[in-house]
């Protein structure tokens, strides 16, 4: 796709690799645009699961490119924030699950892109943090909004106010990541997880993601109404018919 973002699609799984290892995979403007375009391409190719990963052994994504930000004025900073938000929103709204494979540092903007993913798997070597306070700013790509929803208000405030770094084990304890695996096993483990996700019924998976995401944006009563409509809308689909018939016949379903 570009010099800094690669896409590989295999059997319904799209693997997107950020590749700026000499800069700890920091996100500059070109890389953000390439990542957003790559997500569009993965969707057009019918990806049923996405893995977001990175090159090198030291960092998942160390953050936004500070060398680009240092001379920004307010208008330029606003545009950069909007670009980062557009990428995070594209991950969050992607019509299939997105899994972050976090190996090494996930700081600042890198942490924020991981927060936009559906699932997060960390290696034992991972270190995670919203570290923007150390350079005199706050998270600008969704961290102040998504982090409290995942880890709770108190933990999020401590991470953002103090720039706390969490080990993979501590991140797991706070619910920030779902699994911690040895560094040597993370690629294979996440690939297996993504294959399992891709094997699920695509329409139901998209509906589940939409319903869960809606729960963060609305009241309980409105969310329940959305869930009921979405649930009912799956009836009559090939996957619903196949899944229920397979259950009644005591066999594995063959989803589309």
Show which residues are catalytic: 112, 132
Angle at 175 between CA 152 and CA 153, to 5 degrees: 10
Place of tokens 């010099």: 3
- Cα–Cα dist 30/51, whole Å: 20
* Structure token digits, residue 228: 């009921």
| Local structure of residue 27 (DSSP, 8 states) | B
Classify each residue of 97-132 as buried b or exposed e, where b means 16 or more C-beta atoms within 10 Å of its C-beta: bbbbbbbbbbbbbbbbbbbbbbbbbbbebbbbbbbb
**CA count, 13 A, side-chain hemisphere, 164:** 15
Q: Helix (H, G, I), strand (E, B), or coil: what is residue 93?
A: coil
Q: How far apart are CA 37 and CA 33, in angstroms?
A: 6
Let me know how long the chain is.
Answer: 256
CA 11, chain centre distance (Å): 20
Q: CB of 204 within 8 A of CB of 239?
A: yes
Cα 40 from Cα 89, distance rounded (Å): 12
């Amino acid at each position: 796709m570009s010099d800094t973002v690669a896409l590989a699609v295999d059997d319904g799984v799209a693997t997107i690799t950020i590749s700026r290892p000499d800069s700890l995979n920091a996100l500059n403007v070109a890389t953000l645009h390439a990542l957003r375009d790559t997500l569009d391409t993965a969707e057009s190719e019918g990806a049923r699961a996405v893995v977001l990963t990175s090159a090198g052994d030291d960092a998942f994504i160390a953050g936004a490119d500070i060398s680009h930000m240092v001379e920004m004025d307010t208008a330029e900073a606003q545009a950069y924030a909007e670009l980062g938000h557009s990428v995070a929103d594209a991950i969050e709204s992607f019509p299939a699950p997105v899994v972050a494979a976090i190996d090494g540092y996930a700081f600042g903007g890198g942490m924020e892109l991981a927060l936009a993913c559906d699932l997060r798997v960390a290696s034992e070597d991972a270190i995670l943090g919203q570290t923007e306070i150390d350079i005199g700013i706050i998270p600008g790509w969704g961290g102040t909004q998504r982090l409290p929803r995942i880890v709770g208000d108190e933990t999020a405030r401590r991470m953002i106010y103090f720039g706390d770094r969490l080990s993979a084990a501590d991140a797991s304890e706070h619910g920030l990541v779902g699994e911690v695996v040895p560094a040597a096993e993370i690629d294979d483990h996440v690939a297996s997880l993504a294959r399992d996700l891709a094997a699920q019924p695509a329409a139901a998976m998209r509906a589940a993601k939409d319903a869960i995401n809606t729960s963060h944006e609305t009241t309980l009563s409105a969310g329940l109404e959305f869930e009921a409509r979405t649930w009912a809308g799956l009836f009559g689909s090939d996957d619903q018919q196949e899944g229920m018939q397979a259950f009644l016949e005591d066999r594995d379903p063959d989803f589309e």
